[in-house]
Amino acid sequence: MVLAPIGDGLFRIGASVPANYKGEINREFFNKLLNDRVPGNKILGNMNFCGIFNAHVRSASSYRVQNIFLVGDAAHVMSPSGAQGMNSGFQDAVNLGWKLAGVIRNEYDSSLLDSYSTERMNGINRTSKLSTFLANVSLYKKFPAIFARDFAFRFASRTGIVDRFLSPRIAQIDIPHGQLSEGIMKLESGRRIPLEWNKSTLSPHLSLIKHTIFFWPGDHYIYSEWEKYFESATKIITGAVLVNLSGKVLGLIKDLLPTHSACIIVRPDGFIIDLVDIDNISSNEAFNILNKKISQQPI
């Protein structure tokens, strides 16, 4: 039985229904489960909603056929155990939204739209594997397995393993593209940059409609020269939002940045296109590379 606080004194109670149960799923049924399965004297408060569902794990064989795109549960369903279903639908929308908008505005070639299905099917495979795993461990029936699971989870929670590895995957921040493995925080092509779109004083932010290029001067640099460099970049690179990281509060990317100067090109959905080392090349060469990278799609 799972008790999940939602806030304002509201809880979600989840329970596996015995396979041979034929009665109704109602308040009495939940009260009985509470008494049978949860130690102590528990009383069910007001019930706003209750329902029964079967957990399915399915995915369409492609999320795109010509001009038709499948998004959300129409494309994929998974066990609700990891609370990932709706989140995955949002990820679909975020992946597809900027591509569709860009193609409609003639900014990108329509072949960019093919990457929607490839990228999201990869994400969904990873996410539904995690959901299925969480569903399986939550349904352990034997005491030693339950004891080992609860002990492992408490240990992982107290030592920060949950925060470091499980939470980013459940939040779908750590679901990289292609063959990249999870659990690695790195600024590299195909990973998501740990930044948001909302303006904040705590970290730089991303553009929702264009690629963002973060200009990082490195740990040691001459301020006036760097400012000149950045200013000339803003005149030559016009297809992206340029952000100068010099003197900025860097938020979660602080420890991920290289010691030397570099540019990080990020898509509107937060995925990194590339980290371009600009330390040993001329400004013209660097701006050419950056211009090429933002016009070349998909990554």
Query: Sign of the C-alpha dihedral, residues 186, 188, 191, 196?
Result: positive
The rounded distance, in Å, linking the Cα atoms of 205 and 285 is 26
- Residue 4 beta carbon to ligand FAD: minimum distance, rounded to whole angstroms: 8
What are the strands of the beta sheet with 211-216, ordered from one edge? 240-244, 211-216, 262-266, 272-277
Which helix H or strand E contains 274, and what residues bound it? strand 272-277
The rounded distance, in Å, linking the Cα atoms of 193 and 270 is 6
Q: Copy the structure tokens of residue 223.
A: 């301020």
- Give yes or no for residue 25 binding ligand FAD (CB under 6 A): no
- Give yes or no for residue 143 binding ligand FAD (CB under 6 A): no
The rounded distance, in Å, linking the Cα atoms of 67 and 103 is 12
Query: Quick one: 61 exposed, middle or buried, by C-beta within 10 A (0-12, 13-18, 19+)?
Result: exposed
Task: Select from 1, 16, 80, 118 the one that contacts ligand FAD (CB under 6 A).
Answer: 80
72 vs 258 by CB, closer to ligand FAD: 72
49 vs 143 by CB, closer to ligand FAD: 49
From residue 104, give the alpha-carbon distance in Å to each of 98, 112, 206, 241, 250.
10, 11, 21, 20, 34
Sequence-ordered list of residues with C-beta below 8 angstroms from that of 197, at least 6 positions apart, any chain: 205, 206, 207, 208, 270
Task: Select from 10, 17, 65, 83 the one that contacts ligand FAD (CB under 6 A).
Answer: 83
- Residue 14 beta carbon to ligand FAD: minimum distance, rounded to whole angstroms: 7
- Give yes or no for residue 85 binding ligand FAD (CB under 6 A): yes
- Residue 83 beta carbon to ligand FAD: minimum distance, rounded to whole angstroms: 3
**Binding string, 160-199, against ligand FAD, x = CB under 6 A?**
----------------------------------------
Task: Select from 1, 30, 89, 256 the one that contacts ligand FAD (CB under 6 A).
Answer: 89
Number of residues engaging ligand FAD in binding (CB under 6 A)? 11
- Residue 239 beta carbon to ligand FAD: minimum distance, rounded to whole angstroms: 33
Restricted to residues 34-53, the positions that interact with ligand FAD (CB under 6 A) are 53
Q: Find out whether 136 and 96 touch, Cβ atoms under 8 Å.
A: no
- Of 77-85, 108-116, 147-155, 185-193, which part binds ligand FAD (CB under 6 A)? 77-85
Task: Select from 72, 97, 218, 298 the one that contacts ligand FAD (CB under 6 A).
Answer: 72
- Of 80-88, 114-122, 163-171, 248-256, which part binds ligand FAD (CB under 6 A)? 80-88
Interface ranges with ligand FAD (CB under 6 A)? 53, 72-74, 80, 83-87, 89
